[in-house]
Amino acid sequence: MARRLSELAALVGGEVRGDGELAVEDIATLAAAGPRQLSFLTNPRYRAEAAASRAGALLVGPDVELGERTLLVARDPYHALAVLLGVFHPPASPAPGVDPRAIVGRDCVIHPAAHVGALAVVGDRCRLDERAVVLPLAVVGADCRIGARSIVHSHAVLYDRTELGSDCVIHAGVVLGSDGFGYATHEGEHVKVPQVGKVVVEDGVEIGANSAIDRAMLEETRLGAGSKIDNLVQVGHNVRIGRGCILVSQVGIAGSTALGDYVVVAGQAGVAGHLRLGKGARVAAKSAVFKDVPAGGQVAGIPATDAAKWRRQQALLQRLEDLQRRVRALEKRLGEEEGGEG
Amino acid sequence: MARRLSELAALVGGEVRGDGELAVEDIATLAAAGPRQLSFLTNPRYRAEAAASRAGALLVGPDVELGERTLLVARDPYHALAVLLGVFHPPASPAPGVDPRAIVGRDCVIHPAAHVGALAVVGDRCRLDERAVVLPLAVVGADCRIGARSIVHSHAVLYDRTELGSDCVIHAGVVLGSDGFGYATHEGEHVKVPQVGKVVVEDGVEIGANSAIDRAMLEETRLGAGSKIDNLVQVGHNVRIGRGCILVSQVGIAGSTALGDYVVVAGQAGVAGHLRLGKGARVAAKSAVFKDVPAGGQVAGIPATDAAKWRRQQALLQRLEDLQRRVRALEKRLGEEEGGEG
Amino acid sequence: MARRLSELAALVGGEVRGDGELAVEDIATLAAAGPRQLSFLTNPRYRAEAAASRAGALLVGPDVELGERTLLVARDPYHALAVLLGVFHPPASPAPGVDPRAIVGRDCVIHPAAHVGALAVVGDRCRLDERAVVLPLAVVGADCRIGARSIVHSHAVLYDRTELGSDCVIHAGVVLGSDGFGYATHEGEHVKVPQVGKVVVEDGVEIGANSAIDRAMLEETRLGAGSKIDNLVQVGHNVRIGRGCILVSQVGIAGSTALGDYVVVAGQAGVAGHLRLGKGARVAAKSAVFKDVPAGGQVAGIPATDAAKWRRQQALLQRLEDLQRRVRALEKRLGEEEGGEG
């Protein structure tokens, strides 16, 4: 359904520069958008593409100049994009009810507005709240809880006693609550330490495809409210993730480590076990953290060190050849033999 | 069934050195092969094992000398091995038809020679072409297309609107089309940016177990024809992979990055978002690419730099202790105190 | 059920310091334990928490002093913890039998005390030994063998001909026996090399969630008895893992590499193909191994080198700024211009 720009601007607290009566039918990328579509410039590196776009209008931030283009100006254009995409593409909800081909255990409490899909398996004594969704072939173990509006995609597996808050999204292939990796090596044998805790996922957490979150040895592994976890991420047993954290794809957090609120761990980084990362700490992509990071700290490298220091080191490494040459020159001036070089 | 060497040689455009009438029953490794088996030497590091092998004959490349052994000489022995393994081990095809225990949605167009296994779930309006195969417990969302002869293994999940070309292999646990990792952080909350695009996989692509390919925010994430993707690989939203690319295990490609044709990304390497890797670029294992790579470029390191330069840096690092010693010697000669060392 | 400390001490060959008649009802962490619970100090970094714990008693190693606390002293307290957790939390076994909603192929030999859950799929000619367990929605291909007491969790997939020994644990989402990553590039096309071998898992192996173990091109990929593999680990085709090895989360072992017994590869490390790691070798987290490692060798870094040498290099890197400064000082003293610096 087409929407007028002025109407869209109102939804995001923005304003139109140009014809507010212009109606757009959808949102599209700069390259694909035509005159009946809204496009967007949320990353300055695409400025040239924006100028060349055939889009009928462009969603931009303040202070963006694009000549005569019709603009929808929002203070936070990326957030506005999130809102407007939801306007044009409202999420579909599956019909309420338990599919007769699902397998549901005893003593479950399933809200009538919840959905359990065909061939999904739900164990005994589970509770599914209003509009909770378990898609076909998902597995929910015994004694689990799935909060309101949370969705468990196909082929996700919740081991027994996993708790999901409300408004969570658990993507396909996610495993919540598998055993932590704990062995006591005794007389040459790795003896399994029973992992008898659980996983607790607070409200508003999204977990990407094929990520694995281990249950605690005792008590709980906990993912804080509003945290977002990308695909193929590993979270070890007894880890505590604060609120609003971001773990990018292929990150690993080893056992018993605690992340404060709003910690960001960039792609493929790893954090060793039993550490503390303070509130707002940031770990650069591909880093390996072996020490605590204070609140607000930014670290990079293997082993991770202060990010600014790491950048200086990298710059020095680029000049290492030069440094070696200069030392050789000094040695020559002092009439030395050039010994010691392999 | 036993095959004469001369017959096998004809199949691969090779020639026999020795008794072409010799019949072999199978192909085996150098260590395991006996007189009735063909073995192969495709990697020079196994030359001694080849000389010691009990194999009746050896598949080798040109210019390989192995004394009196019976040889099947092929210009490209590894390619010949691929062909000959297929001769001795022809792939099995499941019987055509939809298993009555599968769940198939409305308005699907399923070729009579396609196969849908027991407990597989296929959504509404899907199209499966000739000899497409969906194995037990695989999930194909609504509005998907699976091209001729493509196979979707058990526990793979295709989210809605995923398109597979022909001759693709999607291994167990692969997730195609889960939401890209996009959030607009607004007043302390990570607001989900709806991911309303799709994944398009062109012809002849193979994707390894438990890899995850995210759907685009808008439009499509695209994997080019003939590209091969190993296990546990992450491909972010809006990525475009060219034709004939190779992504080795545990690689991650972040969102909106584009790889030209025949790019090779070696194991555990990562490529940041919004980059361009030109045709034939090669990324070394365990590297982290944060900048564009030109066509034919070879990069290595964290951050990735020109591979030859990276190798020189590594060599210098090995001599850093020596360099430090030389500087100290110079300082001594000049009568300085050895200040500044922690 | 409450247990007296003296009874618990007897089970682990330990001794009580204090009141052996004290009964405890469970084991809990230092922070959570109360007077009716046993806690433990197995990692010295938690000594202060141990001193402050409200636990009724503490399981500790020899030579730990904690004032007047009641102690259960064991020679190897972490191993004792493993044993005692099993006392308080005995593992549940599913009821014997094949669920009528499971799909089991022809000519299978399933021990009457084995369990096959609802909607699990077991192929033709499989053998399941005593108390083997296949949980709901797991997939066991044709011609597989599952040894006594081994458990295959939901959504694990065993491709055809996979062999599991006894007492194995295969967690959710694990893929055993998918095709190895082998292609012969011929005239611009990556031609698939058929992967016709299998995966053999020896007794007592545990494999974490969403790990992927490829079948061999020929013969077998083999995981040695008692080895423990964490989540999201990749093991390539034809790899041989010795007995009692430890592969921590997100490790990758490339094709045809062989690990001796008791090799430890720490988190996110990678090992290139066709290498040999000798008995007891240890690879540090996040390393990339490109060369053989001798028995007992310890390596770290990218590329991995001797771990002690790597640590010295890291220390030197921290002082690189200082080294550069010293060279500049020498140059000044010699009256040189500061040329050569970019």
Q: Provide the token pair at B187.
A: 């007043």
Q: Provide the token pair at B122.
A: 């296929």
Q: What is the DSSP string of C131-165?
A: T-EE-TT-EE-TT-EE-TT-EE-TT-EE-TT-EE-
pLDDT digit string, tens, across residues A11-29: 999 999 999 999 999 999 9
pLDDT digit string, tens, across residues A273-309: 999 999 999 999 999 999 999 999 999 999 999 999 9
Smallest Cβ–Cβ distance between B154 and the set C157, C194, C250 belongs to C157
Q: What residues of chain A lie within 8 A of the CB of B185, using their CB?
A: 79
Q: How many angstroms away from the CA of A292 is the closest CA of chain C?
A: 13
Does the beta carbon of B231 lie under 8 angstroms from any beta carbon of chain C?
Answer: yes
From CA C259, how far away is CA A104, in angstroms rounded? 44
Q: Is the pLDDT of residue C339 over 70?
A: no
Residue B311 backbone phi and psi in degrees, to 5: -65, -40
Residues of B numbered 175-204 whose beta carbons fall under 8 angstroms of chain C's beta carbons: which are they? none
Q: What is the DSSP string of A288-331?
A: EE-S-B-TT-EEETTTTEEHHHHHHHHHHHHTHHHHHHHHHHHH
pLDDT digit string, tens, across residues A199-226: 999 999 999 999 999 999 999 999 999 9
Cβ of A228 within 8 Å of Cβ of B181? The answer is: yes
Average confidence (pLDDT) over A322-335:
87
User: Smallest Cα–Cα separation from A163: which of A140, A181, A182, A179?
Assistant: A140
pTM over 0.80: yes
Does the beta carbon of B118 lie under 8 angstroms from any beta carbon of chain C?
Answer: yes
In chain B, % of residues over pLDDT 90: 88
pLDDT digit string, tens, across residues B299-316: 999 999 999 999 998 888
Catalytic residue, from C153, C186, C237, C274: name it.
Answer: C237
Is residue B86 within 8 Å of B107, Cβ to Cβ? no
Does the beta carbon of C155 lie under 8 angstroms from any beta carbon of chain B?
Answer: yes
From CA B321, how far away is CA A206, in angstroms rounded? 47
**Residue C340 pLDDT class (50, 70, 90 cuts):** very low
Smallest Cβ–Cβ distance between C157 and the set B172, B228, B321 belongs to B172
pLDDT digit string, tens, across residues B147-178: 999 999 999 999 999 999 999 999 999 999 99
Does the beta carbon of B155 lie under 8 angstroms from any beta carbon of chain A?
Answer: yes
B328 vs A102, B296, C327, C338, CA distance in Å? Answer: 75, 42, 10, 19
Question: Hey, which chains touch B, using 3+ CB pairs under 8 Å?
Answer: A, C
Residue C170 bridge partners (DSSP): C152, C207
Q: How many angstroms away from the CA of C51 is the closest CA of chain A?
A: 18
Residues of A numbered 13-32 whose beta carbons fall under 8 angstroms of chain B's beta carbons: which are they? 27-29, 32
Smallest Cβ–Cβ distance between C82 and the set A192, A232, A317 belongs to A192
**pLDDT mean across residues, chain C:** 95
- B52 by DSSP, 3-state: which? helix
Residue A270 backbone phi and psi in degrees, to 5: -130, 145
Smallest Cβ–Cβ distance between A270 and the set C88, C286, C302 belongs to C286
Question: Which pLDDT belongs to residue C1?
Answer: 79
Question: Which pLDDT belongs to residue C318?
Answer: 85
pLDDT digit string, tens, across residues B47-103: 999 999 999 999 999 988 888 899 999 999 999 999 999 999 998 889 999 999 999
Average confidence (pLDDT) over B104-124:
98
Question: Which pLDDT belongs to residue A92?
Answer: 85
Q: What is the DSSP string of B270-319?
A: EE-TT-EE-TT-EE-TT-EE-S-B-TT-EEETTTTEEHHHHHHHHHHHHT
Cβ of C319 within 8 Å of Cβ of B330? The answer is: no
